[in-house]
Each structure stands twice: as structure tokens, then as C-alpha cells.
Amino acid sequence: MKKIIFICLFLIISGCKVFQPEESDFMPPSLIKQSELPPLQLLYFLDSYEFTCEMRVNCCGDVEDAKILTTSDDAEWDSLARLSLLKWKYSPAIYQGRPVELTIKRRVKVVIEKPQFYSLAEIEVQNYDRADSVYKALLAGADFTRLCINCSCSKSKERNGMLGRVNINYFNENIKTQIASLSEGEFTKPIAYGEHYIIYKRLEQNN
């Protein structure tokens, strides 16, 4: 079977960019979705590869800047890996009940894992009340595509919400589990995605 590069995060070292949070008032950012790292020649000779990176995560959970702190001795790979990190998505750090910007350091372990491809569509909305309204409409039989056109704030709206074939290994375990449980034609409940909410629908595999 074809294999892919898969990223496994196993250590977070939280740092602070603009404040020193009190532990009782602070919730660190949580990874929602990764993007694929470039192929690495070292993995032809090793079972895994580890590197440390630094990412500045803004109040929306987007990575605004990233640095590779331990190089691979392959400047091109390090540059492409940095671009991949800029596409990662987090829930924002929370301090005293409000989202804040934070710089974090992570040790990343790169391993080989079998991909899980699902054909997906999405509706992304800006708050839970709106997402709950869309979800109830879907349960009542409303058309997914029409709701996407009328309600979604994602760029995928231009494609009627179609995401194509998505490797769900790049989602966090919660989202991955919810998508994996879907049969073709079924959709998830609203899932927190940074400050927004997304409803995913599993399409027929040939879509």
C-alpha cells in the first residue's frame, strides 16, 4: 500500500510572546489539523525523524510565523517544512477567558503511516448558534449544497463545499474519529475549528 509522511506531535513547550500567563488562567493552543510535510530522504534509512520547531499562533488559531529550530542538513527540506507548518491550524490559546496570541515550541516526530482518504464536503460558519441552526436544517432534510452556498464562510463555498479526497490522518483525533464514523452521505455535528465551526459530510468515494 502507498505510504505517506505523517506527523506525530508528542511534546509541547509553551512560551509566551506578549505576556506571562498564570497557569490557572491559561489554556494552551490545541492542534486541530496538520498539513503534509515534504518527503525526507532520511526516512529511507530510519524509522522516524524528529525536529523541533517554533510557531506563532494568533488569536484565531492560525500560524502566522514558523521556524525550524533543528535543521535536517537539507536546506530545501527545511524551507518546505516551514511552509507546511504555516498551514497548520490550532484552537487559540485562552487566557482569562479570551483568545490570545502565543509562541509555542514543539518537538515533531515524522513517521510513515498508511493514509486514510475520504471524499468530503464542508460547511464552515462563524459561531456555534449558526452552526447548530445549519445542523438542524440538515437533520430536517435541507440540501447540503444549498446550505453551503447560503451559509458557509469558507473558500470551499466556491466549489459547493467540496474538499475532494482528504487524508483524515492530518486532523486531530477528535475530528478524525467523527469523520471515520460516517457512512457515505452522512454528516458530522458542528465541530469547533479555531473560532469557527465546521460540519463535514462524507461523499461517495468517487466524488
Domain final position from 68, 94, 113:
113
- The CATH number that applies at residue 198 is 3.10.50.40
Q: Is the pTM of this model over 0.85?
A: no
Q: What is the pLDDT of residues 125-163, one digit of tens each?
A: 999 999 999 999 999 999 999 999 999 999 999 999 999
Q: b vs e for 150-160, b when ≥16 Cβ sit within 10 Å of the residue's Cβ?
A: ebbebebbeee
Residue 9 and residue 109 share a domain: yes
Taking residue 147's Cβ as centre, other Cβ atoms within 10 Å add up to 19
Domain, as residue range, for 193: 117-202
Residue 121 and residue 109 share a domain: no
In a domain, 173, yes or no: yes
The closest alpha carbon to 192, from 27, 51, 7, belongs to 27
Residue 145 has φ and ψ, to the nearest 5°, of -65, -45
Residue 138 and residue 52 share a domain: no
Contact yes or no for 55/66 (Cβ under 8 A): yes
Residue 12 has φ and ψ, to the nearest 5°, of -125, 130
Residue 17 has φ and ψ, to the nearest 5°, of -90, -45
Residue 121 and residue 107 share a domain: no
Q: What is the pLDDT of residues 41-72, one digit of tens each?
A: 765 556 778 899 999 999 999 999 999 999 88
Residue 89 and residue 12 share a domain: yes
Number of domains in the chain: 2
